[in-house]
Amino acid sequence: MTETGPIGLVAPPISRRPPFALLRAVVRYRLARVGLGIIAALCFLAIFAPVLAPHSPYHQDLHGALAAPSRVHWLGTDNLGRDLFSRLLYGARVSLFVGIVSAAVSAALGVVTGLFAGFKGGAIDAIIMRVTDAFLCFPPLIFILAMSAALGPGLHNVILSFALFGWTGFARITRGQVLMVRELPFIEAARSVGVPPRRIMMRHILPNIMAPVLVAITITIGTAILVESGVSFLGLGAQPPTASWGKELRVGFAYLETTPLFSIAPGVMISLAIVSFNFVGDGLRDALDPRLRGLG
């Protein structure tokens, strides 16, 4: 903070901000720093799981089932004798993949709808907003659970169900931002020199509303990881032999008294992942909100 003061780093909502400045602004928040660290570590584990895992996550050894932690199996084994540590590493792939893809699809659908609603206004806007209002009446988990039950088991259906619900939040945020930005002088200027509406939307409005969308994406990744593990915990979502943390937790629960690590360890991973995305999302929000600058 020696060369650039906080004001220079976290500019008001209407301005383009180089991504690195944003990252630097976020890093000033202690909890966000912790979150970024955990996310980086999880990504590392997920990417290099095949190299890091001491065993195959699918190799069964029924004689060595439910073993306690040892030098061979660092966290012990599951009910089919598979190495728990290796399965947790591979589980990071599932969770991060589902989390990121769900959030990305939701954001893409929602931002386009929101842009459209905010820019067009009128009846289209009113209809889209009432539909998002209706979606907000369902608790996300219940809606997504019902949807994935209707669509059938499998991770792709979890992602699909999530996106069918998740777009609403992004649409609302985007629309609100568009309503603010479209009245600004530079949009009027663009319009007066004859820039076509589509180009105004994509080139002039979209870049200026990305900040809150970014916050929402971060938090949505955490939510999607939670939803995936929840749906898999209840038995939909990931199917055997996929190493999903939620699934692992579910199976491990049955053996809680004898091998507590079997259910506790996957829970630690799920919680770490969700908490870290929430920490970063929180830091981002504070960094982007000029009103909170003084309060911290």
Partner 1 sequence: MGKYIGIRLAHSLVILAIVIVLVFIIARLIPGDGIMAAMAGSVDLHDAQVVERVRHQFGLDQPIPLQFAVWIGQFVRGEWGTSIGTGENVLDMFRSRLPITLELFFGATLWSLAIGIPVGIIGALKRNSAVDVCLTAGTIVGVSIPVFWEAILLIYVLSVVLPIFPPSGYVPFSENPLLNLKAMVLPSFVLGTHSGGLLARYVRSSLLEVLGQDYIRTARAKGLSEPAVVARHAMKPGMIPVVTVIGLSWGGMLAGAFFVEAIFAIPGLGRMGVEAIFQKDFPVVQATLIVVSVNVLLVNLLVDVLYGYLDPRIRVRP
Contact residues toward partner 1 (CB under 8 A) are 30-31, 130-131, 133-143, 145-147, 149-152, 222, 226, 229-230, 233-235, 249, 253, 256-257, 260, 263-264, 267, 270-271, 274-275, 278-279, 282, 295-296
Minimum Å distance from CB 170 to partner 1?
A: 18
Least separation in angstroms between residue 212's CB and partner 1 is 17
Where does the chain have alpha helices with state H? 6-9, 19-27, 30-47, 49-52, 84-120, 122-136, 140-151, 155-181, 185-192, 197-199, 210-234, 245-253, 261-288
Closest approach of Cβ 273 to partner 1, in Å?
9
193-196 long-range contacts, CB within 8 A, separation 24+: none
CB 20 to partner 1: min, Å? 25
In single-letter form, the type of residue at position 180 comes to M
Residue 202: CB atoms within 10 A of its CB come to: 12
Rank residues 164 and 205 by Cβ distance to partner 1 and give the closer one. 164
Distance (Å, rounded) from C-alpha 197 to C-alpha 207?
A: 15
10 Å CB burial of residue 150 (0-12, 13-18, 19+) is exposed
**Using CA atoms, how far apart are residues 208 and 76, in angstroms rounded to an integer?**
50
CB of 256 to partner 1, least distance (A): 6
Nearer to partner 1 by Cβ, of 145 and 181: the residue is 145
| 65/141 with CB nearer partner 1 | 141
Nearest distance in Å: CB 41, partner 1:
17
Specify burial of residue 244 (Cβ count, 10 A radius: 0-12, 13-18, 19+).
buried
